[in-house]
Structure 1
Amino acid sequence: HATHCPKPFYSSMKTQLVSAIHLQEVELDDIEGGNDPADDKKDPTYTVEEAVETIGFGRFHVLLFVIMGSANIVEAMEIMLLAVVSPEIRCEWRLEDWQVALVSTMVFLGFMLCGALSGYVADRYGRWKVVVAGFFWSAYFSFLTSYAPSYGWFIFLRSLVGCGVAGVSQGFVLKTEFIPARHRAYLLPLATIFWMLGSMLIIVLGMTVVPTYGWRWMIRLSVTPSVVLLFLFWFIPESARYNVSAGNTRAAMETLEWIARMNHATMPPGRLVESAQTERGSWRILLSPAFRRTSLLLWYTWFVASFSYYGSVLSSSELLEKNLLCITDADAEHRVKHRHEEGSVCYCIPFAFSDYQTLLISCLGEVALVPLNICLLNVVGRKLSLALLQFLSAIFFLLVNICTTMLGFTVLLFLLRALVSMNFNVVYIYTAEVYPTVARSLGMGFCTSFSRIGGMIAPFIAQVLMSRSVMYAMCPFAVASIVCALGNFLLPIETKGRALLVRLCPR
């Protein structure tokens, strides 16, 4: 009966009816798409941290632990190679002590220059890309090192290897960001096993390959694990925490769902909601009021961790090579000195089989006290663990000066390597836990760069000063460790049991 209604009134009713129908269709579409405002209030949400904790530990983490742990094997082989190859290149190119020390220094220089850069790139463009690129780079230039025609080429190529190893070290961040908080204090210290295996593998190669085929073939064979790992890394996804910080929530969801399927676990109810962070990979975060004191203390702690660790490794190699040990029952083999009485240098004193055995036993020290390391992390926390381990390391550096039997020296070296290795392990864990996702890789990169300054100085103490006086060489390591132990009491944040931060300020 529209003809009986006034035209304006008819038009108004028609317009209202069409609008109502259209509004109803929009509301239905919103409900089907899950975008109803009322449902948003009811629909639960979760963060990456909550998803990681809900999924828990499972098959994916075993795969992650094995593959990323194998990365530690490669890193350890490249670093420990310096201790094994030093006597050989000293013989081949008739090097002085400072020239042998410069080899290690150049490797750590490359590591230092590329450490902060790799951290910046990892925070801006992803952890996975940096780790894989680091593996390829270090394997390629390590292989080229075996063809070095001169000492100059050798140290140049080894410094490029150090750049690649800096990228490989970002694998620790990638691994940490996938592990639930309650499992980190157990799994991360166990990664020391892989570092020990890498150290032992390069020593076994030195023991079996060097006497027959020479040091060049030892380096070529040491590249093999890197090539294998380049293929295995395709089974490890990009960090979900990085993806959400970069605004790629869909990729983070796919990664978390894949992990949940592998672990036969369920995802949290709801949807992933986490804001993207525009300021990623900025050094200003590290020196912001929230992290300034932490960063400064950590930089020195990493310096001492590397200084003491490589000091213990290179000094043990030097003591054995030059027979500078104060042995109470020295046999004829250990009475040979590096310098003759008339002052001329005896260049070629290669490792004996027993020296390789001593190095192997000392490597076992890196895992012997892992149960103690786990206990300390879970009971007293990260800060006190650092202080205690550094204080004990200082004591054992001084004990090396005591005249003892070869067995006694082996025991001391075993315990010293255990303590400095545990210290390095704890500082890795603390650093990965204390910084937020937007600056975690950069924070690790800066710390590893400062650590390599310690690695650059250590050879000149452990390999040059050692020839003058064992006591003078051991004291700098002991003093640095004591000062660091005192400084770690001032760290403002304890990370035991704490969730990994996403935002710039700790809660």
Structure 2
Amino acid sequence: MAVSYFKVYVACQSMLIVLVGAVPEYHIDQEGIPTSRAELAKRIHFADNFTSIVTEWYLIEQEAYKVSLASSLFFAGLLIGNITFGPLSDKLGRKPVYISGSLTNLTFAVGIAVYALLGYCVREWRYLALVSNTPGVIFLLLSFMLPESPRWLYSQGKTAEAEDVLQYIAFGNGKERLNLKLQPSAGTLRKDELAPGILNLVKHPVLRWQTIILMYIWYVCSFVYYGLTLNAGELRGNLYLNVALSGLVEVPAFPLCMFFIEKSWSGRRKTMTCFLIFAGFACIFTMFLPTNAGLLLSPTLLALCGKMMVSAAFNIVYIYTSELYPTVLRNAGLGVCSMSCRFGGILAPFVPSMKSLSPSVPFVVFGISGLSAGFLTLLLPETLNKPIAESIEDLQSPKYQVLKNEEAEQTS
């Protein structure tokens, strides 16, 4: 539960720049061109009743890129954290680095709506940043109450501690004390039992192109998802309502994708392909709609539909990727894909600024990206009701291929 609430805090951090860096309507007195920031401060007039770093330091015109840069640096920090703290979680445990997996992506979507509500109530950007960041201290203190991963404890030879954590979890679920006794663990793995490293993703032809395709799909999911999320502040209409809707529209995406990926006639591959293609078309079709049209025919509605579709695809790609890799390479595969995902987040903040060329340009960029990733997904194998390989040898063995064919015949 604590980790679920933490996702709300993470959502507020990811969306911080949308309101803290919001650009209100403004006009500059047309009596020559301002030659200094002091002169610009006297002649510029902001229309809306909120403050932001834009109104504080006049980040408009040639200075507008600094807002996108601030958001991009946030995602660059996530990339650094992914590279740095990922390996630490295997050495120090999951609890010290405060990650043992996310409980649900729904709380992230709700967190976006919560942030919109905070922004509506707190119009001064410094106070908004303070309110949004304060829960981080609370979650840091609460993290000491979380138990360590019993699986990690067992893998490190700490059998007694793993038993205590399992008893704690059982008690929290309303169960009586378990008569539990784990087999002694040898602790750290022998050298010949260590999981193959990242190089094996490139070395073996059966995994090489699969990894490249998955890296691109993860990149596009992040690029389009965060691009549309950050672009919510650029849409016409009420700023806070647009931000809230960009989060709430994800709520139906989770049960929707969970329904389709378990059906034999759709599965993982077809479902993700359809969601990415639909997201791409939704973005591209915005260029054919007038900006002053009603709600049912507005670019805002199509952008929200695209956000829901790419959010569903983002949920699926975690499951799909973990099933495509053999057990010994699963962590390495997910790690590489997660890193490529961060690059999408780094580039995404700069795309909304391309509206200076044309209002539809950002959506066309997102649309083409979604379509390309959707069609590339068709090159990957289906994993629904298929045996999951334990090792690289399993992927190449005739027995594994026979099992895959038998599973395919049973589900067809």
TM-score (norm 2): 0.75
Identity over aligned pairs, percent: 28
Alignment of 1:151-230 (within 5 A): 170-172=99-101, 175=102, 191-210=104-123, 214-230=124-140
- Give how far 1:80 is off: 0.8
The 1:223/1:130 distance shift into structure 2, 3 A limit, reads same
| CA shift for structure 1 position 505 | 6.4
Larger Rg: 1
CA shift for structure 1 position 383: 2.8
The answer to whether 1:86 aligns with 2:53 is no
- What corresponds to 1:52 in structure 2? none
Alignment of 1:453 onto 2:365: no
Distance 2:387 2:168 in 1: 25
Deviations 1:293-336 (A, max 9, x none): 4432221111101100111112232234xxxxxxxxxxxxx7xx
Q: How many Å separate the matches in 2 of 1:427 and 1:304?
A: 11
1-side partners of 2:384 and 2:181: how far apart? Answer: 29
From 253, 267, 270, the counterpart of 1:381: 267
Distance 1:117 1:475 in 2: 35
Q: CA deviation at 1:110?
A: 1.7
1:123 pairs with 66, 71, 90, which one? 90
User: How many angstroms apart in 2 are the aligned matches of 1:228 and 1:436?
Assistant: 38
Alpha-carbon separation, structure 2, partners of 1:505 and 1:493 = 19
Q: Which residue of 1 aligns with 2:244?
A: 360
Q: CA RMSD in A?
A: 3.1
For residues 68 and 280 of structure 1, what CA distance do their matches in structure 2 show?
Answer: 28
Task: Using the TM superposition, give the Cα deviation of residue 204 of structure 1 relative to its aligned residue in structure 2, in angstroms.
Answer: 1.3
Question: Aligned to 2:199, which of 284, 290, 303?
Answer: 284
Check conservation: 1:247, 1:277, Cα contact below 8 A. Answer: no
Report if the CA contact (8 A) 2:261-2:267 is conserved.
Answer: yes
Q: Does 1:71 align with 2:45?
A: no
Aligned to 2:295: 407
- Where relative contact order (Cα < 8 A, 6+ residues apart) is larger, the structure is 1
Query: Which residue is 1:259 aligned to?
Result: 169
The answer to whether the Cα contact below 8 Å between 1:120 and 1:282 also exists between their aligned partners in 2 is no
* Per-residue deviation, residues 182-238 of structure 1 (Å, max 9, x unmatched): xxxxxx6xx23211221112111111111xxx1111111112322232233334322
Query: Matched residue pairs, number?
Result: 351
What residue number does 1:490 align with? 379
AA at the equivalent of 2:336:
F
Per the TM alignment, residue 479 of structure 1 is displaced from its structure 2 partner at its CA by: 1.5
Deviation of 1:451 after TM superposition, in Å, equals 1.2
SS of residue paired to 2:251 = helix
The CA distance in 2 between the partners of 1:477 and 1:486, in whole Å, is 15
The 1-side partners of 2:383 and 2:100 are apart by 23
Shift of 1:268: 9.4
**TM-score, L = length of structure 1:** 0.62
Q: Secondary structure at the match of 1:128?
A: coil
Find the residue that maps to 2:262 and give its secondary structure: helix
**1:473 pairs with 2:362:** yes
Return closer, same or farther for 1:497/1:233 CA change in 2, 3 Å cut-off.
farther
- Structure 2: give runs of 5+ residues left out of the alignment: 23-51, 395-399, 401-412
Q: Map 1:389-468 onto structure 2 (within 5 A).
A: 389-401=275-287, 402-403=289-290, 405-408=293-296, 409=298, 410-432=300-322, 443-463=333-353, 465-468=354-357
SS at structure 2 position matched to 1:109: helix
**Shift in alpha-carbon separation, 1:72–1:418, aligned structure 2, 3 A:** same
State the 1:111 CA deviation.
1.6
